[in-house]
Structure 1
């Protein structure tokens, strides 16, 4: 089954501010070209203003119709969506032209031939712009899919390197606990089963509360392995907001805190704090730096980068993962929007 995270929706790019800005700027450029073209009757400045008004109405109306139909079009293939967008562009060109003729009539500084010739010209322009837009859309869509697949491959390569290391350590800890503390050994194996079940399920979206539960299970396993060397502190609100995150996007940040913190120290700690505002949920994971100089440990950042890319992709760029060093502690901060994009 495809997931919204692994297969981004083609229309999502149209609702982002850069795309809308480029549409508006392109419309103004097209209006300027029409106003400066030879054979334009009347004031070119007036022609530019009227052409700009007509073009922007066509563009914004087409975007608005696609936005209103986004749920019904969610399962359409990108190529089919592109042709539908072209059809809406032509339909809105004729609709806005008819309204302009009804309200302006002979006041429009049209070329020879009047409104029929102008509508034909606008239809040709809409087709030309539409086909150029189709080509740009296809290139953008291919690039986005390639980027998502590359990040997925990068994440899978990271998991392939980390899982055996973590699995062997956990099994060794379980073997040491079997005779001395069998109840804890049983809990360790159950936690390990939950983690690997989530990992083997593949990329998907889960509630933040479930992702925090996976991180808690991981820390419980590591607490059994490190014993008194590790202290874990949790600060959670009474009710975790019902936001979704990519599965295993918070847990790798907790794992980094162990591998680059407690694992390198005689005694270490990990703090996990969740705070909320009406618009944002913030998850902070922090650990002390083992170096006396207070510099973060060097190592691969694939886990951190993968979490960042996946969260930004899921939230349409409204969520983020940032890291910093504060008072000798390495802090990873995850920001998630409460309202869906």
Structure 2
């Protein structure tokens, strides 16, 4: 009897990790995450009149990917987010075009253009201004820098540079601007290829940047292998090597892997890694639909309560909930065979 009791904890751990994934369970998880991020995004303009990646871009990503997976979203909220952002910057386009007047600098510009892509916005004078801004902000070494250090979202020069490269290329128009963007991307290429990675944000950013740069297949595969190699036994990824797995790092990495890996290159080991990551996210979701991640960023602004779960950890947690929701939707309602 004593031996049986000693074995029980191990049995329950294995049973929990092997819990069967079903389409209905995945759908409920995505819908639960959506409730959190849509409410957070809707509340945010009532509390702040500034742009944020955690309450605009990333909730929009979750909504976009959920919609692509066939799950109903608040379509009017997507339009409202784009309009809110346009209203914030409409009277500053001249100074932004000149490379001035933008808190958060290149990272803000990249996330903002990402929001426009998610919201279905076409190229116009607004996107021209932010493409020009990013051009002004490129460093002599070829990269784009972060203005403040608020991890995990605001600490990686590599991820910031990926956003700059991808969204300049996506939104550029006009022969003169196209010529400048092409030169900037060519200048960024060697910096990306030789950049040293440490955080998971670095690894994910480098993988996506190599794809955006149309790097040789072997370089992209090597970067993908680095992501897969860093997966933990629990199926998740951590923000830093010394940290535990969490939904922010796991959701972001799962999303990058699924988005960046052609179906023809998804071998059994890849599919197993994806399913283990999905299982991790399903296990760690809270009953209210959110995922909890503890903040490690030193506050530079006075805290305000947006009404989201997890108190003073609500900003990183809503970012994590957005990434987790988007990743589950991106990888499909049905488990990858």
TM range (shorter): under 0.3
Q: Between Structure 1 and Structure 2, which shows a larger proportion of strand residues?
A: 1
Q: Which protein shows a greater Rg?
A: 1
TM-score, scaled relative to structure 1: 0.24
- Highest RCO, 1 vs 2 (Cα 8 Å, sep ≥ 6): 2
